[in-house]
């Protein structure tokens, strides 16, 4: 009986939090992440409970990894996300949503990506609000967070950091093959070989579409290039009290016979739109990162590298 009452309370609290979030964003402003809850203890202590809550709320866990000791990331999907991913030929980026369990000082933060924000960023027109509500119910919804000021859907869809910086429609072209099947096999081979310091975190095949999205961990252990390394990049850009660990992992998208990835100057900026251009914890400190990430992902895709300056 106590368990039932507790579940009712948790569900009711999630509904209230979602309503408050809706009221706060009455003008349609959104932020990239949700803080679901906070707790004491360690990261490992929370993983089992978070995974159970996700599966209890209809999500399929399709990957997880720990990019560094203080964090564990879980990637989920469901039928609604897969349907949204199939809505256009580059919609695969929406298929997986990321949940992070991060230790910050004495606090463990449960955070996750905001599907509604990400749908706007990836030009997905399908209504993913049921997915957002399901994550709110599973994990809580204390607040949306990221930049101090939110963005509306039109601003997110047309987002670029500043003049001359890339949009969603300016991805890296990593490789081209004769068929979708050959392209998918090439990525599987590259990730299995840890080409370019990459590791496979997840794979989602989008039903009814020739699209496959891969989640990719990035480590400098074999490359010696810190600028492509998840840990180094996050140490520079993810410094606020509430961490945005769910920015990770990076993705490779196979669409038809083409292999691409979002340009780092878009992929990082869309999740950290208020990151400073210069100074401490700024884009200036990761200036070589876009080229370094492209080089690693190109190797994973079996493509040909080119010389490119930031």
Q: Answer whether residue 306 is part of any domain.
A: no
Residue 167 domain-assigned?
no
Q: Would you say residue 116 lies in a domain?
A: yes
Band of residue 305 on the pLDDT scale cut at 50, 70, 90: confident
Q: What is the mean pLDDT of residues 105-111?
A: 97
- Is 35 inside a domain boundary? yes
Question: 276 pairs with which residues across the strands?
Answer: 282
Residues 197 and 148 in one domain: no
Q: What is the pLDDT of residues 214-236, one digit of tens each?
A: 999 999 999 999 999 999 999 99
**Are residues 7 and 135 located together in one domain of the fold?**
yes
**pLDDT for the residue numbered 307:** 55
Residues whose CB falls within 8 Å of the CB of residue 196, separated by 6 or more in sequence, listed in order = 190, 223, 228, 295, 296, 297, 298, 299, 300
Last-in-domain residue among 157, 192, 223: 157
Domain that holds residue 77: 2-157
- Mind listing the pLDDT tens digit for each residue in 70-98? 999 999 999 999 999 999 999 999 999 99
Do residues 227 and 294 both lie within one domain?
A: yes
**Any idea what the Cα angle at residue 218 is, between residues 81 and 52, rounded to 5°?**
45
- Decide if 307 is inside a domain: no
pLDDT of 26 strictly over 80: no
Q: Are strands 107-113 and 211-218 parallel, antiparallel or unpaired?
A: unpaired
Angle between helices 289-301 and 264-271 (to 10 degrees): 120
Q: Tell me whether residue 163 is in a domain.
A: no
Domain boundary among 99, 123, 157: 157
Q: Same domain, yes or no, for 74 and 42? A: yes
Task: Identify whether 309 is part of a domain.
Answer: no
Asked whether residue 110 falls in the same domain as residue 190, the answer is no
- pLDDT tens digit string along 162-181? 999 999 999 999 999 999 99
For residues 147 and 186, state if they share a domain. Answer: no
Residues 178 and 108 in one domain: no
Distance CA 248, CA 298 (A): 18
Asked if residue 176 and residue 115 are part of one domain, the reply reads no
Give the confidence band of 13 by pLDDT, cuts at 50, 70, 90. Answer: very low
Are residues 185 and 153 part of one domain?
Answer: no
Our CA dihedral for 147, 199, 92, 32, rounded to 10 degrees, sits at -10
Confirm whether 177 is domain-assigned: yes
Percentage of the residues of the chain whose pLDDT score is greater than 90: 88
Question: What's the total number of domains in the chain?
Answer: 2
Q: Are residues 139 and 217 in the same domain?
A: no
Q: Are residues 24 and 128 in the same domain?
A: yes
Q: Is the pLDDT of residue 22 over 90?
A: no
Please report, for the domain that includes residue 27, its CATH number: 3.30.310.70
**8 A C-beta contact, residue 35 and residue 242:** yes
Last residue of a domain, one of 130, 157, 184: 157
Whether residues 83 and 152 share a domain: the answer is yes
Question: Residue 203: helix, strand or coil by DSSP?
Answer: strand
Question: What pLDDT score was predicted for residue 28?
Answer: 86
Model pTM?
Answer: 0.90
């Amino acid at each position: 009986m106590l368990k039932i009452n507790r579940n009712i309370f948790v569900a009711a609290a999630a509904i209230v939090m979602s309503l408050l979030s809706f009221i706060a964003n009455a003008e349609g402003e959104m932020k990239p992440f949700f803080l679901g809850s906070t707790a004491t203890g360690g990261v490992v202590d929370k993983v089992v409970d978070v995974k159970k809550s996700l599966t209890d709320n209809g999500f399929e866990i399709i990957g997880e990894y720990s990019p560094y000791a203080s964090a564990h990331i879980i990637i989920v999907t469901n039928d609604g996300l897969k349907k949204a991913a199939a809505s256009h030929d580059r919609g695969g980026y929406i298929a997986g949503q990321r949940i992070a369990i991060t230790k910050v000082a004495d606090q463990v933060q449960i955070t996750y990506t905001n599907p509604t924000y990400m749908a706007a960023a990836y030009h997905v027109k399908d209504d993913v609000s049921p997915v957002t509500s399901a994550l709110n119910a599973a994990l809580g919804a204390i607040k949306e967070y990221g930049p101090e000021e939110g963005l509306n859907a039109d601003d997110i869809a047309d987002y670029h950091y500043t003049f001359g910086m890339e949009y969603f429609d300016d991805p890296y072209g990593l490789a081209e093959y004769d068929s979708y099947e050959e392209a998918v096999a090439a990525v599987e081979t590259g990730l299995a070989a840890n080409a370019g310091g990459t590791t496979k975190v997840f794979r989602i095949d989008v039903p009814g579409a020739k699209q496959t999205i891969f989640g990719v961990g990035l480590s400098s252990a074999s490359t010696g290039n810190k600028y492509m390394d998840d840990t180094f990049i996050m140490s520079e850009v993810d410094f606020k009290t509430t961490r945005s660990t769910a920015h990770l992992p990076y993705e490779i998208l196979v669409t038809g016979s083409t292999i691409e990835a979002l340009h780092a100057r878009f992929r990082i900026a869309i999740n950290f739109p208020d990151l400073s251009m210069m100074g401490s914890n700024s884009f200036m400190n990761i200036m070589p990162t876009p080229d370094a990430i492209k080089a690693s992902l190109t190797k994973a895709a079996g493509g040909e590298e080119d010389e490119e300056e930031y």
